[in-house]
Structure 1
Amino acid sequence: MQLDPGTVAEGRVTRVTDFGAFVQFENGETGLVHISQIAHSYVRSVSDFLQEGQTVEVKVLGRDERGRLDLSIKELLEEPEEMPRPRAIGKQSPQFESKLRSFMRDAKERGAGGERGRKRKR
């Protein structure tokens, strides 16, 4: 079995780590599915998605400079129609906005005359 970029192959998960999972193929080669290549959604823990001994289908993305296989499960999954949107930050209170403007104005005034009160080192 030739594992060229773009090849889709089935392998067995041999090790799960914090940064991804190692998958071994029937020809004996092993590659890494990085945590970012497991799912379209946020992956907090690889073990939530993959377990040792599990058979998975992966796509070969390529090889790194040392000849190791880079693999992806995400590339074989259908992309969600709409990615979840980040939560909106609530509007700040008018009091906060007023205090911030006052602070910025005072800081600007202090910055303009900031050299006056300092002693110079020689």
Structure 2
Amino acid sequence: MSIEAGSKLQGKVTGITHFGAFVELPGGSTGLVHISEVADHYVKDINELLKVGDEVTVKVVNVEKDGKIGLSIRKAVDRPEGESRPPRPHPRSGNNRGGGKSRPAPSFEDKMSRFLKDSEERLSTIKRQTESKRGGRGAKRG
């Protein structure tokens, strides 16, 4: 059986790694479902969603010349028209609930001055700690 990109197949999970799951397809070939293609949400631990031996429906994303098969579980799920992934929160808004006034983005100069201030504070803390380990400023060596 030839496997082509875009086709949906039933498969069986044969192995799980930290980066994805290996799925055996009809005909004995094996493909990889990358962890980012398992679900529509962020997946920290793939073991929470899949176990070895699970039957899954996958969509063939690509077939490499060297025979590697890229698969997706989340693309194999048919969604009704108009339904898509949940909206992602905007990075500067903190939460995506709205209701409050949004602050303007800090300028480059503001970010740079805050960075310099933080750096100077960290350096002075490190110097103080280092000097106390050596016995202070006026300590004589040896």
Q: For this structure pair, what is the TM-score category when the shorter chain's length is used for normalisation?
A: 0.5 to 0.7
Instruction: Determine the C-alpha separation between the residues in 2 that align with 1:89 and 1:4.
Output: 42
Q: Percent identity?
A: 35
Q: CA deviation at 1:31?
A: 0.3
* Correspondence for 1:82: 86
Query: What CA RMSD, in Å, does the superposition of the two structures yield over aligned residues?
Result: 2.7
* Correspondence for 1:22: 22
Instruction: Determine the C-alpha separation between the residues in 2 that align with 1:89 and 1:81.
Output: 20
Q: CA deviation at 1:25?
A: 1.5
1:46-101 superposed Cα distances (whole Å, 9 cap, x missing partner): 1111110000000001123422100001112336453241573499xxxxx9xx96
Instruction: Determine the C-alpha separation between the residues in 2 that align with 1:81 and 1:11.
Output: 24
Q: TM-score, normalised by structure 2?
A: 0.58
Q: Which of structure 1's runs of 4+ aligned residues deviate more than 4 A?
A: none
Q: Which consecutive residues of structure 2, in runs of 5 or more, have no partner in the other structure?
A: 96-100, 117-142
Q: Which consecutive residues of structure 1, in runs of 5 or more, have no partner in the other structure?
A: 92-96, 108-122
**8 Å contact 1:40–1:80 — kept in the other structure?**
no
* Correspondence for 1:54: 54
Structure with larger RCO (C-alpha < 8 A, sep 6+): 1
Instruction: Determine the C-alpha separation between the residues in 1 that align with 2:62 and 2:40.
Output: 20
